[in-house]
Amino acid sequence: MTIGSETAYRGQAQRWLSLSLMAFGVACLLFYAFSTIRTSLFQREAKAELERSIAVARDVPPPSVSPPSEVTVPAGPESPTITRPAAASKSAALARGAVIGRVDVPRLHLSAAIAEGDDDSTLDKAVGHLPDTPLPWQGGNAAFAAHRDGLFRPLRDVQVNDEIKMVTPRGEFLYRVKKTQVVNPEDVWVLAPTKAATITLITCYPFSFVGHAPQRFIVQAERVVPELSGTPLKGSVPRT
């Protein structure tokens, strides 16, 4: 191969490499845009559905929820949840993906619809309620998960004493952050039952990690008003 032909070959290879990298970058951007739009659309529809449910709940009491019974729910490599012994859903009356409420952290401008389940399809578009933990109106330790680069991204700035509000058709429940911590995916003790009405928010950690984040960031908050009935709902559900 002559020097000229070798130079031409190298130039062509570099052009193909540049085009391939550009195509890959565009594909990544398109995928991110699609995921963002899908999440945004679901959140808008879910919040509207919640508003309708709240309006109905003002006049018709919701049905009671079946008690739990025991059944390993593995956490995937980038699933913002905790690996734990699989148990029958404590919210058995709720279908996977059913909208159950909204979580608001006013100081962080976080407002996201909550759906039942911690499977990938649910967490791709909503904050997911771990089915083997109580619901907010049942007391105990209710756990919720979402992605660190999505709906729970603002949690990187959460602080002790921040207020968290759960808005559901059963009422509004106000909590105050008691602690944050970093744990491993296998640390199921963060889901242990509590005497005080508690919520546990889970996402992957570190927030800026490239690839599958190896740990979990935990936010635990206790209810400010302990009554299980919640407080009366006023006005409509804001959309974000």
DSSP letters along the chain, please? --HHHHHHHHHHHHHHHHHHHHHHHHHHHHHHHHHHHHHHHHHHHHHHHHHHHHHHHTTSPPPPPPPP----BPPPTT-SS--B-----TTTTSPTT-EEEEEEEGGGTEEEEEEE--SHHHHTTSEEE-TTS--GGG-SEEEEE--TTTTTGGGGG--TT-EEEEEETTEEEEEEEEEEEEE-TT-GGGG---SS-EEEEEEEESTT-SSS--EEEEEEEEESS--TT-B---SPPP--
Largest CA distance in the chain: 86
Mean pLDDT in the chain?
Answer: 81
Phi, psi for 178 (deg, rounded to 5): -100, -35
Statement: residue 68 has pLDDT above 50: no
Q: What is the pTM of this model?
A: 0.72
- Going by pLDDT thresholds of 50, 70 and 90, the confidence category of residue 47 is confident
So what's the pLDDT on residue 162?
97
Query: How far apart (Å, rounded) are the C-alpha atoms in residues 166 and 237?
Result: 12
pLDDT of 90 > 70? The answer is no
Long-range CB contacts for residues 67-74, cutoff 8 Å, separation at least 24: 68/92, 68/132, 71/132, 73/118, 73/132
The reported pLDDT for the residue numbered 237 is 32
The pair of structure tokens assigned to 205 is: 């950690």
Q: What is the pLDDT of residue 205?
A: 97
Task: Indicate the range of 19-28, 120-129, 139-148 predicted with least confidence.
Answer: 19-28
Say how far apart CA 133 and CA 88 lie, in whole Å. Answer: 10
Question: Which tens digits make up the pLDDT trace of 92-124?
Answer: 568 999 999 999 999 999 999 999 999 999 999
114 vs 11 pLDDT, higher one: 114
What are the chain's domains? 34-62+69-223 (2.40.260.10)
Confidence of residue 52 (pLDDT cuts 50, 70, 90): confident
Closest residue by Cα to residue 136 from 225, 48, 43: 225
The answer, yes or no, to whether residue 130 has pLDDT greater than 90, is yes
Among 8-12, 28-32, 115-119, 214-218, which is the least confidently predicted range? 28-32
DSSP strand pairing (141-145 vs 198-205): parallel
Phi–psi pair at 99, nearest 5 degrees: -75, 125
- When mean pLDDT is compared over 47-56, 87-96, 174-183, the highest value belongs to 174-183
pLDDT band at 204 (very low <50, low <70, confident <90, very high): very high
pLDDT score at 190: 96
More confident: 101 or 240: 101
Residues counted in the chain: 240
Give the mean pLDDT of 138-154. Answer: 96
238 pLDDT band (50/70/90 cuts)? very low
Residue 76 has pLDDT above 60, yes or no: no
207 Cβ contact list (under 8 Å, min separation 6): 148, 149, 153, 156, 213, 217
> Regarding predicted confidence, which is higher, 161 or 94?
161
pLDDT at 41 over 60: yes
Cα 179 versus chain centre, distance: 18
